[in-house]
Chains A and B, each alone.
Chain A
Amino acid sequence: MKPFKLIVVGGSAGSLQVILNFLAAIPSGFPLPILIVLHRNGLFESSLHELFSSRTTVPVKEVEEKEMAAPGTVYICPADYHVLLEKDHTFSLDYSERVNYSRPSIDVTFRSAADSFGDGLISLLLSGGNADGVEGLEYIKAKGGVVVVQDPVTADVPFMPQQAVLKGNVDYIVPAVEIPAFILGLSGFPRP
């Protein structure tokens, strides 16, 4: 089994419930860091951390610049910053222009994670109303990472995963309810 080093999750409109279900399924002692890029359009700016923490037993924290991605920790992108990953697996923050009208942008993080983690990356794109993340997935695939997309039929807002599926280059299309077990299985961790 390939030793994966990071799970990166991108979601927009309609993805919150899927993320919460995934967080609830992560067992303590889980070996990989998990980075979540969620569009929030001014919603839950302050309460997202609390909300996530309330649903999981593993530590949840907002990304701090130059911090090392630690195993078994869920990281949230701070509002209004892009999150990049360095070769040494530390996070960098970036306050440059919005990408796909978004900051944080899923594409920005996906591309950067692919550059730094290559085939050590598991990526997951969820429900959403724009195509942010689609290009990033292609890039991850080209660098040898694993690409998982929420089955658009099971997405509240199917556009984002649908675009990814149409472009091809997707390894797995997984229904919302099966995502937690599927990702944990893929990580090489025993299913709950």
Chain B
Amino acid sequence: MESSPIQYEELEILLNDLFNLYGYDFTEYSKASMQRRVQRLFLVDKFPSFAEFRHRLQHDPQYFRRFVEEITVNVTEMLRDPSFYRTLRTSILPILATYPFIRIWHAGCSTGEEVYSVAILLKEAGLLHKSLLYGTDINPLVIEKARKGIFPISQMQKYSENYILSGGLKDFSSYYAANYHLAKFDSSLMEKMIFSTHNLVSDFSFNEFQLILCRNVLIYFERDLQSKVFKLFDYSLENFGYLALGSKESLRFSPIADRYRQVGKEKIWRKVHEAV
């Protein structure tokens, strides 16, 4: 049994290197998860020593790109937690419908399954034509995939079940064209999407939104970084806008908590006061 190939101290050295050389700051990511991902990459790419791993990362920008792709978690699915989407349908979209124009930000959208999910809900509510969905992620590779709207057909049965549980009444397969092992989603959904790289750690606010979704991203950040990102979201959210988090994430311990009210029992909060 190999002992830990990357020690905590080595991880810190590595993360400092990456910040100094490439401007990517992973130093406030949760260490346990980061160490696990970095160890995995180290083993998969068969480095003989930490020194060689470090040297490669310092001198090969292409390999750094691979590092970013591999250490960020890109697991996502369509309509995950159907009850969350049911609440979006029944409680949130009817209020967004009153706006002349709806701007939504999916922060850390990975390969985009969640953006397509919300687009389907907007279409069914008759709101897609006046909506714009921004999908951002730190990892350029997943953003390219998200733009294509092509997902494995093997997932469609699960997604179809999620869709029905979320209150969907149509035939889920009407939203995609099946081709061998792939499902390509309808281009009418994609017309209202804008995908771009964005680093929550270092990039600024780029618009004002009525709804921001950031689900299962903050769990990878340490508390201080979570607070910074909450402030970024707060700054990017219109008054009375909504912030949606993952099923195990909470606004409770954040510096903005006192100006937000939770909607029902889902992890959705509404901004009720502007910052003073």
Given contacts A65-B249, A78-B248, A87-B8, contact A95 B219 (CB under 8 A): yes
Interface size class of chain B, counting residues whose CB lies under 8 Å from the partner chain: 20 to 34
In the complex, how many angstroms separate the beta carbon of B17 from the nearest chain A beta carbon? 21
In the complex, how many angstroms separate the beta carbon of B227 from the nearest chain A beta carbon? 11
In-complex Cβ contact of B75 among A84, A97, A135, A141 (8 A): A97
In-complex Cβ contact of B248 among A64, A86, A87, A112 (8 A): A64
- Is B223 within 8 A of A116, CB to CB? no
A135 to B223, CA, bound (A): 31
A169 to B33, CA, bound (A): 26
A170 at the B interface (CB under 8 A): no
Given contacts A65-B248, A112-B36, A139-B1, contact A94 B31 (CB under 8 A): no
- Is B223 within 8 A of A66, CB to CB? yes
- Is A95 within 8 A of B32, CB to CB? no
A62 to B227, CA, bound (A): 23
In the complex, how many angstroms separate the beta carbon of A122 from the nearest chain B beta carbon? 19
| B215 nearest in chain A by CB position | A95
- Is B1 within 8 A of A94, CB to CB? no
- Is A86 within 8 A of B30, CB to CB? yes
A47 at the B interface (CB under 8 A): no
| B250 nearest in chain A by CB position | A64
Residues of chain A contacted by B75 (CB below 8 angstroms): 95-97
**Can you list, as one digit per residue, whether each of A134-146 has a CB less than 8 Å from chain B (1) or not (0)?**
0100110111000
B82 at the A interface (CB under 8 A): no
Residues of chain A contacted by B216 (CB below 8 angstroms): 95
How many positions in chain A have a CB within 8 Å of any CB in the partner chain? 27
Chain B interface mostly: loop
In the complex, how many angstroms separate the beta carbon of B145 from the nearest chain A beta carbon? 16
Residues of chain A contacted by B37 (CB below 8 angstroms): 96
A87 to B216, CA, bound (A): 22
A96 to B8, CA, bound (A): 20
Residues of chain B contacted by A108 (CB below 8 angstroms): 36
B20 at the A interface (CB under 8 A): no
Given contacts A112-B36, A139-B1, contact A94 B223 (CB under 8 A): no
**Can you list, as one digit per residue, whether each of B241-270 has a CB less than 8 Å from chain A (1) or not (0)?**
000001011100100000000000000000
Interface residues of A in 107-131 (CB under 8 A from B): 108, 111-112, 115-116
**Can you list, as one digit per residue, whether each of B56-81 has a CB less than 8 Å from chain A (1) or not (0)?**
00000000000000000101000000
A97 to B71, CA, bound (A): 12
**Can you list, as one digit per residue, whether each of A74-89 has a CB less than 8 Å from chain B (1) or not (0)?**
0000100100111100
A142 to B2, CA, bound (A): 9
Given contacts A65-B219, A78-B248, A95-B219, contact A115 B32 (CB under 8 A): yes
Can you identify 5 A-B contacts, CB atoms within 8 angstroms?
Answer: A92-B30, A96-B75, A116-B32, A139-B1, A169-B1
Contacts A81-B219, A87-B31, A112-B32 known; 8 new A-B pairs at CB < 8 A? A64-B250, A65-B249, A92-B30, A92-B219, A92-B220, A94-B36, A95-B73, A143-B4
The chain A residues found within 8 Å of chain B, CB to CB, are: 64-66, 78, 81, 84-87, 92-97, 108, 111-112, 115-116, 135, 138-139, 141-143, 169
The 7 closest A-B pairs by CB, nearest first: A84-B32, A138-B1, A96-B73, A92-B30, A95-B216, A93-B219, A94-B33
